[in-house]
């Protein structure tokens, strides 16, 4: 069983991730992890924090001579902007953020005690863990990519950039839709036998857990709603060269909670960032009087980087499902099981 925990606050000493269950024998490339961390920081519309932090991973357990030992892998990403004890208290919650709900849930008197952990800074750990999972999946020629589909309703690249620029000028924020695609996923990951085994359910949870994501769809997604079944289901064919195959992929690579051998296609909606430089109305938690919401250093648009984070979330789930089916102790044993399975189901 693959599992992970993360820890750390936005302006604390750093962010830590512990990945447990990665099999022994995998060569981990630190340069690739750091490359993925840089991708997370990219994209037009990112804020000044990206200019401060130069994220680099330090692996402090679970490897010897760059190969996994089968023991927990601990990753540390230090924060250059370590200022949590010096930052001012926050008393006016931001609409759309965890500020007010978190304050009431935990009984805090200062919203900073919420926002430091609720911050999307924690996704640096998701990306570091996802990078290791991508290295594992690459052993089996499984590749994960992402792209921006639209921003602010615009689908042309230049129009999307203009929408972000408009939000900058208006001291506003803007969201959009991104797509993640997993290629080379074999038939048979996931299961229909229990709800929590369904691959699409697990992937949806992982992508929805990214701060700011408000909707997820697979394949045709909401497009199923106004069609007849005869128009949307992917007909099945067979030949001696390909075996079973489809000519369409409206299912997005998953049927009945199980991967069907086609590309897994996921789209998600990232809402506009909650911190506005021209803040909305809020309430001072001390006086209970109307006030403007607090303003923290933030981004204008993060749709591009959200796709990178989602790649990592998808990589983690697919790796877990892969290990569940083909074994989890040793990379060579897993590989032997995998290719034996492909031989059994092949044409």
- The whole-model pTM stands at 0.95
Q: Is the pLDDT of residue 50 over 80?
A: no
What is the DSSP annotation of 66-77? TEE-SSPEEEEE
CA separation for the pair 149, 156 (Å, rounded): 9
Question: Is residue 293 within 8 Å of 94, Cβ to Cβ?
Answer: yes
Q: Is the pLDDT of residue 345 over 60?
A: yes
CA separation for the pair 23, 62 (Å, rounded): 10
Bridge-based pairing state of the strands 67-68 and 143-151: unpaired
Residue-level pLDDT at 49: 54
Average pLDDT, the chain: 96
Residue-level pLDDT at 51: 57
- Return the beta strands (E) in the chain as ranges: 3-7, 14-20, 57-61, 63-64, 67-68, 73-78, 143-151, 176-183, 213-218, 236-239, 243-246, 254-255, 258-259, 264-270, 281-283, 290-292
Average pLDDT of the segment spanning 312-322: 98
CA separation for the pair 200, 259 (Å, rounded): 9
Half-sphere exposure for 99 (CA within 13 Å, toward CB): 22
Rg of the chain over CA atoms, in angstroms? 22
Percent of residues, the chain, with pLDDT higher than 70: 98
Q: What are phi and psi of 86, to 5 degrees?
A: -100, -15
User: Which among 137, 269, 154, 139 has a CA at the least distance from the CA of 216?
Assistant: 269
In order of their start, the domains of the chain are: 3-345 (3.60.150.10)
Average pLDDT of the segment spanning 231-238: 97
Residue-level pLDDT at 52: 62
CB atoms within 10 A of CB 234: 19
Q: Is the pLDDT of residue 44 over 90?
A: no
Question: Is residue 299 within 8 Å of 173, Cβ to Cβ?
Answer: yes
Average pLDDT of the segment spanning 160-174: 95
Q: Is the pLDDT of residue 1 over 90?
A: no
């Amino acid at each position: 069983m693959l599992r992970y925990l993360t820890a750390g606050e936005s302006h604390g000493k750093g962010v830590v991730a512990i990945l447990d269950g990665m099999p022994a024998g995998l060569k981990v490339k630190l340069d690739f992890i750091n490359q993925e961390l840089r991708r997370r920081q990219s994209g037009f519309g990112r804020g000044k924090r990206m200019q401060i932090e130069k994220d680099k991973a330090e692996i402090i357990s679970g490897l010897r001579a760059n190969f996994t030992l089968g023991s927990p892998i601990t990753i540390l990403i230090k924060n250059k902007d370590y200022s949590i004890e010096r930052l001012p208290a926050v008393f006016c919650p931001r609409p759309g953020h965890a500020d007010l709900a978190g304050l009431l849930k935990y009984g805090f008197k200062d919203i900073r005690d919420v926002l430091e952990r609720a911050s999307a800074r924690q996704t640096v750990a998701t990306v570091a863990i996802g990078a290791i999972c991508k290295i594992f999946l690459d052993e089996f020629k499984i590749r994960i990519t992402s792209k921006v589909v639209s921003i602010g309703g615009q689908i042309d690249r230049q129009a999307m950039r203009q929408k972000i620029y408009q939000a900058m000028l208006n001291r506003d924020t803007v969201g959009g839709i991104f797509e993640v695609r997993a290629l080379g996923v074999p038939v048979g990951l996931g299961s229909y036998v229990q709800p929590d085994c369904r691959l699409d359910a697990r992937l949806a949870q992982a992508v929805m857990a990214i701060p700011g994501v408000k909707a997820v769809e697979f394949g045709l997604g909401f497009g199923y709603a106004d069609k007849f079944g005869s128009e949307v289901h992917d007909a099945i064919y067979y030949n001696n060269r390909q075996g079973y195959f489809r000519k369409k992929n409206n299912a997005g690579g998953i049927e009945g909670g199980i991967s069907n051998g086609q590309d897994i296609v996921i789209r998600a909606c990232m809402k506009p960032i909650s911190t506005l430089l021209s803040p909305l109305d809020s309430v001072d938690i001390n006086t209970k009087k109307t006030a403007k919401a607090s303003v923290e250093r933030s981004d204008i648009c993060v749709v591009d980087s959200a796709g990178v984070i989602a790649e990592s979330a998808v990589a983690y789930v697919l790796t877990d499902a892969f290990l569940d089916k083909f074994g989890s102790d040793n990379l060579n044993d897993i590989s032997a099981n995998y290719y034996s399975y492909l031989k059994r189901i092949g044409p």
